[in-house]
Amino acid sequence: MSNQATTLDHKLALSLLESFNAQGALMAWNARLTSMTPGACEISLPMAQNVCQQHGYFHGGVIGTIADAAGGYAANTLLIPVSECLSAEYKINFVAPAIGDTLIARGKVLKAGKTLVVASAEVFVVHQGKEKLCAIMQQTLFVIPKESPKVDAG
């Protein structure tokens, strides 16, 4: 994916933020869209009681969620305002326990087709100021017109 533009149109960025901020699940976790460039996106999340698993680490489901969201918003930077995308599927590998105070997911578009977009994300946990890779995701997104939120994933 060669993305020649390195900054995102301001109006487009606001539209993506508005969509992100309307996601109750992400807001309940204080997730933030910390960076967006064409074809890429970064999301971060602070440690809290409601993102833990039983040993006090970040929960795998939380890691999967922000990886999925990071890939999805990376795709949306190339689609909005004409169209947007839904996750058709994703696959995630957990490679280290997510012990730390912040979780960061970095998504990028690998291939942007007309109907399907393939994206990936890496998730890092920040512990004592150092980033450590904790998960790797690969994902297929389905492009839909911006106006039809109720369309079926298939």
Contacting residues toward a copy of itself, per CB under 8 A: 19-20, 22-28, 48-55, 59-62, 64-66, 68-69, 86-97, 99, 110-118, 120, 133, 136, 138, 140, 142, 149-154
30: CB partners within 8 A, 6+ apart: 45, 46, 48
Minimum Å gap between C-beta 130 and a copy of itself is 14
Amino acid (one-letter) located at 143: V
Q: Which is nearer to a copy of itself, 8 or 57 (CB)?
A: 57
Q: Which is nearer to a copy of itself, 7 or 149 (CB)?
A: 149
Q: Which is nearer to a copy of itself, 7 or 123 (CB)?
A: 123
Structure tokens at 3: 């993305």
Q: Which is nearer to a copy of itself, 8 or 76 (CB)?
A: 76
Minimum Å gap between C-beta 153 and a copy of itself is 5
Q: Which of 42, 32, 63, 53 is nearest to 125 (CA)?
A: 63
Minimum Å gap between C-beta 11 and a copy of itself is 18
Structure tokens at 42: 């970064």
Measured over the CA atoms of residue 124, residue 1, residue 89 and residue 44, the dihedral's sign is positive
What are the residues facing 64 on neighbouring strands? none
Minimum Å gap between C-beta 10 and a copy of itself is 20
Structure tokens at 115: 């109907």
- Answer whether the bond into residue 149 is a cis peptide, omega within 30°: no
